[in-house]
Structure 1
Amino acid sequence: MKIAVVDGQGGGLGRSIIEKLSKEISGMATIIALGTNSMATASMLKAGANEGGTGENAIVVNANRVDIIVGSVGILAANSMLGEFTPKMAEAVASSSAKKILIPLNRCGLEIVGTNSESLPGLIDLLVLRVKEICNANGKG
């Protein structure tokens, strides 16, 4: 199973997700860090990603090569992350057949009604739990 963790700016969210995923699904999946910039990718690789790619082409190409895509809800929105997430990136993620497990951060003008006000660490824990359930259901755990 291949999991893409997509992040931009400093890669802090992606880093936190990868740190927890690495502990919870060790050996069940390959984690691919996809950063909008080299700093984000480097941060996620330091956190334990197996592979990494940077920039628009890396995200566009890999969106259809993975089973699960994780990140913030902003990765579905063109020009999010202060403009780092291009329309091509958003289209590739949204159009991918991969399961998308997203954290509802409201920093990009998207507000998801019905979500609870869980803390960011709590949301990351929920995301990791869901990814682990999928890996286990696919006989990888």
Structure 2
Amino acid sequence: MKIAVIDAQGAGLGQNIIKRIRREIDNHVYIVALGTNSFATSKMVQAGADVGISGERAISSFCKSTKIDSIIGPIGIICSGGINGEITPMISNVIFNMNCTKYILPLQKHGIYIPGTRNLQIKDIIEEIIFDIKQNIL
């Protein structure tokens, strides 16, 4: 199974996701770190991603040309200007149009509120994503 994890800025969320995947389903997945900047990418590779891709053009090219099973990231990845402007219109569009499962973490930032997510902790959301990935591997 090939999974892409996308993050920006310091990639704290991306690192956390990758570490959890490695700890719980290590041998069954190939993880691609998609960082909007080289710092975010390097942090996710250090966390355990198999390979890292940085920048708008490289991310867009990868997403258009590579078959992956799922992509994981905060809600800002599907919003042009998301993650403090690091998600460009090109990136958000190409991610939205990918033919794979998109695991979107409903962070309550940027004035986006998804009803029903009020009491969810990030760790619980990541746990649910990992549970679903495990179900799809079997």
TM norm structure 2: 0.92
Aligned counterpart for 1:92 among listed residues 94, 118, 129: 94
Tell me the distance in 2 between the aligned counterparts of 1:84 and 1:14.
Answer: 14
Unaligned runs of at least 5 residues, structure 1:
137-141
Deviation digits for residues 72-99 of structure 1 (CA, Å, limit 9, x no counterpart) = 1111100011101000000000000011
The residue type paired with residue 75 of structure 2 is V
Tell me the distance in 2 between the aligned counterparts of 1:87 and 1:119.
Answer: 28
1:24 aligns with 2:12: no
- 109-118 or 5-14: bigger deviation: 109-118
Moved over 6 A (4+): none
Q: What secondary structure is seen at the aligned counterpart in 2 of 1:112?
A: coil
Aligned residue-pair number:
136
Aligned position for 1:108: 110
Tell me the distance in 2 between the aligned counterparts of 1:2 and 1:72.
Answer: 18
- Cα deviation for residue 123 of structure 1 reads 1.6
Unaligned runs of at least 5 residues, structure 2:
none
1:83 aligns with 2:94: no
C-alpha contact (below 8 Å) 1:22/1:48 kept by paired residues:
yes
Tell me the distance in 2 between the aligned counterparts of 1:50 and 1:108.
Answer: 31
- Cα deviation for residue 109 of structure 1 reads 2.7
Tell me the distance in 2 between the aligned counterparts of 1:25 and 1:116.
Answer: 28
- 125-134 or 3-12: bigger deviation: 125-134
Of Structure 1 and Structure 2, which has the larger fraction of its residues in helix? Answer: 2
- Cα deviation for residue 22 of structure 1 reads 0.8
Aligned position for 1:72: 74
- Percent sequence identity over matched residues? 38
Tell me the distance in 2 between the aligned counterparts of 1:119 and 1:90.
Answer: 25
Aligned position for 1:39: 39
Aligned counterpart for 1:121 among listed residues 120, 123, 134: 123
Deviation digits for residues 113-140 of structure 1 (CA, Å, limit 9, x no counterpart) = 222421122222222222222222xxxx
TM norm structure 1: 0.90
- 9-18 or 55-64: bigger deviation: 55-64
Tell me the distance in 2 between the aligned counterparts of 1:109 and 1:85.
Answer: 16
